[in-house]
Amino acid sequence: MRRFDFSIVRPYLTLTLPLALGSQMENLVGFAEIFMVRSLGTEAISAVGISRTIVMVIGITMVAVATGTMTMVAQAVGANKWTEASATAKQSVTLVFGISTVISLFGYWTSDLALASLSVPDEVSVLAVPYLQVFFATVPLMGIQRTLDTCLHAAGDTRTPFYISIVSNLCHLIAAYGLIYGAWGLPQLGVVGAAAGGVVAGVVGNVCRFWVLYSGRFALTLLPSTSYFPERERARKLLKIGIPSALQGLFRNGSNVVYLKLVAMTANPTVALAAFSIGSQMERSLRRSSLAFGTATTSLVGQRLGAGDPEGAEVRGWTTLLISVIGLALLGIPIALLAPHIMAIFTEDADVIAVGIIYLYAMAAAEPFMCAAITSGAALRGAGDTMPALVYTIISQWIIRLPVAYMLAFSFGFDIYGIWVALVIFSALQGVLTVRKFAQGHWKSRQI
């Protein structure tokens, strides 16, 4: 059997490009928030950067919760079962809204405890707590946004969510600027204003998404014959696929939070946290590209499985894996070459720049391996096989990454640079394990 089919390169990139651009726009909002608050001091930069790391945990978790939606809608579309696709989409909205509401309430009341547990300096925490509280109030909006976008992606429509994200992110930036500095008669909220802009974006974006899905003019329609009322069997299938992915998201991003704590424990935490806050935005830029490749892979593999073509699904999995890894390797090269200039855009502190440059080098080396893990894991998700990615995340990120980072930084005395090196080690391991699982091929006969 052929392992690669390069005739799918164009449709694959056509699916991926809007996903990647939409994700990068969200990341640019993060850059813009840091840029807008930089005049408020290093503490403000750290507060926004650290808060957005926690925001990333919740955001990826919302994506993971919708994994069952991606698999089931993609397979329904591949089988031309449009009523099934609509019913699954509505059930997912109901489930995600309930889960995200619980996360919202819990996060709002524990924001200060979360920052204290990460050893964040008091001068940073005092700014970060209100930012996080405003953010957590918007989590249900985020959950609905991720779910509706996932439904369209599964149906093969990645352009419409991209256009909506342009509108909502512009609203976010305009509102954030006005609220940070008190422009146009708005209240001057400082760092909190950056988070408040997300409220405006969430409302505007979701109004647009529901209109699209009810209009009947796009790839997927929410039909009146289907219901938001919970259906036990459909909810069970969604959760059976989605819970391992949600746990994977929690473990992966929980590891990132502990990783942040290690950064805060280094010899000069203010410098290290500022470098991390800036550099992590670049890491998210690459990671979002990897996730875009992964989402498109799930759609292609899931649709072929729904059409009863497991061999075609496997070919698409291998082809998309090759394309995505090459793509991330190429994207990492300019980041490594321009590392000093990237850091200098956001700070004039020479110590922060020096530490951040090494972080960017490590990130550029690690991300092709992470992309391999994400894309091969996404192919497995197209078949509803989400458990392996969870297991490999626990192994590579908790059993390997954190102990190695701690030992290199504190036992061997490499301080912050040891933490950066651990990033490359765990990424390589996770990539190898996940690709190996995909290559075994057991997923092709899996039933949802």
Domain boundaries, the chain: 6-445
CA distance 357 to 417: 10
Q: What pLDDT does residue 64 have?
A: 56
HSE-CB of 76 using CA atoms within 13 angstroms: 24
Q: What pLDDT does residue 217 have?
A: 85
HSE-CB of 80 using CA atoms within 13 angstroms: 0
Q: Which of 213, 216, 379, 225 is nearest to 293 (CA)?
A: 379
Contacts of 267 (CB under 8 A, 6+ apart): 415, 416
Q: Which of 321, 247, 316 is nearest to 290 (CA)?
A: 321
Q: What pLDDT does residue 189 have?
A: 82
Q: Which amino acid is at 254?
A: G
Cβ proximity of 370 and 58 under 8 Å: no
CA distance 434 to 378: 10
Average pLDDT per run of 10 along the chain, which is 448 residues long?
80 86 76 71 70 63 68 85 90 86 82 74 77 82 88 87 90 88 84 82 92 88 88 82 76 81 88 85 84 88 87 92 94 92 86 92 94 93 85 91 94 93 92 94 81
CA distance 381 to 388: 10
Which pTM was predicted? Answer: 0.73
CA distance 246 to 68: 10
CA distance 390 to 244: 6
What is the sign, positive or negative, of the torsion defined by CA atoms of 43, 47, 53, 54? positive
Cβ proximity of 371 and 290 under 8 Å: yes
Q: What pLDDT does residue 65 have?
A: 59
CA distance 326 to 116: 40
